[in-house]
Copies of this chain bind each other. A is one copy, B any other.
Amino acid sequence: MIKAGIIGSTGYAGNELVRLLLQHPETEIVWYGSRSYIDERYASVYRNMFRLVDAVCLDDNMEELAKQADVIFTATPQGFCASMMSEKLLEQAKIIDLSADFRIKDVKVYEEWYKISHKSPGFISEAVYGLCEINREDVKKARLVANPGCYTTCSILTIYPLVKEGLIDPDSIIIDAKSGTSGAGRGAKVANLYCEVNENIKAYGVATHRHTPEIEEQLGYAGGCEVKLNFTPHLVPMNRGILVTAYAALRKSVSEQEVRGAYEKYYKNETFIRLLEKDVPPETRWVEGSNYVDINFKIDSRTGRIIMMGAIDNLVKGAAGQAVQNMNLMFGLPEETGLNQVPMFP
């Protein structure tokens, strides 16, 4: 049994990690870390866990935890994991960081978008960007995995094959993304109250959202060129789900078959990516509770553009599910272990 510890277990992503790890046949949770709820019973913070989790929340103490765990998940605010990182930690336990601390390779870009100075720049190069479908082999060998952001996962996987195969103009990419409200976290803010979110839709972080450089960097690697794109997130009155609607100029005379061929080339054998049938747009409801990414596209010959669409559950493939998938890879388990949840509808 893999001994797993969770730092930041009382956020929504933390709770989802608990849900998945409890059903994982090869793990045991040894630490429920939480700065806000120390000494409270975990099942009092999340009553879905009543009778399933007896543990009491402990401090977010990574050093102590590293002595007891084989793997540490950090579902913490930006900066925390970087401030704790050390060689000693990595010798004791593998680390999967669900924050953005080790996602961006260029530390200046990180500091510019996140407005904090990076406390462990020396570990950035070692960290593997944990988008399993793309970096699988590197993840297998990693000690430190930077688990991708929710918007990022959905955006990159939706666009990647077309950039990689050079079928679209990388300067023309526009990503219009829509997220359920669990992505905003469990912090007590007026903006996230029920009555403020319900019966409303809005854009936020327009032209400034922090997932932008992460998407640009990864698509840049894929295309072998610098990518600058527009990314606009929106808040949708629902609990879970991210939908990405991305637009790009299609290279001249690229056919629908070529596009579909590109997606199939990279995703045909992927367990968690479902390339939908023609004219069936992805919908967040069809992936809820599961680790699936549903993808499709539509070519608009009138404008010469392609519309690429992807849907995930932000808490599963966009956070906890992908973290477990990374863990499976790092520990030599079949990648799907514990991730066979059938999407729940309605």
Please, what's the 1-or-0 string for A184-223, where 1 marks a CB less than 8 Å from any CB in chain B? 0010111011111111111110110000000000000000
Number of interface residues of A (CB under 8 A): 82
Query: A199's closest neighbor in chain B, by CB?
Result: B238
Contact B206 A194 (CB under 8 A): no
Complex CA gap A303/B171 in Å reads 8
Copies in the complex: 4
**Which B residues are CB-close (under 8 A) to A88?**
none
Contact B188 A188 (CB under 8 A): yes
User: Nearest Cβ distance between residue A24 and chain B, in whole angstroms?
Assistant: 11
Please, what's the 1-or-0 string for A4-40, where 1 marks a CB less than 8 Å from any CB in chain B? 0000000010010011001100000000000000000
**Which B residues are CB-close (under 8 A) to A288?**
48, 199
Contact B199 A241 (CB under 8 A): yes
Contact A195 B181 (CB under 8 A): yes
Contact A245 B176 (CB under 8 A): yes
User: Nearest Cβ distance between residue A184 and chain B, in whole angstroms?
Assistant: 8
**Which B residues are CB-close (under 8 A) to A229?**
303
Query: A307's closest neighbor in chain B, by CB?
Result: B206
Chain B CB within 10 Å, residue with most, of A180, A192, A200? A200
> What are 16 inter-chain pairs, A to B, with CB distance below 8 A?
A47-B283, A180-B199, A181-B193, A181-B198, A188-B189, A192-B194, A199-B284, A199-B285, A199-B288, A201-B243, A202-B285, A207-B300, A230-B247, A232-B307, A236-B237, A237-B238
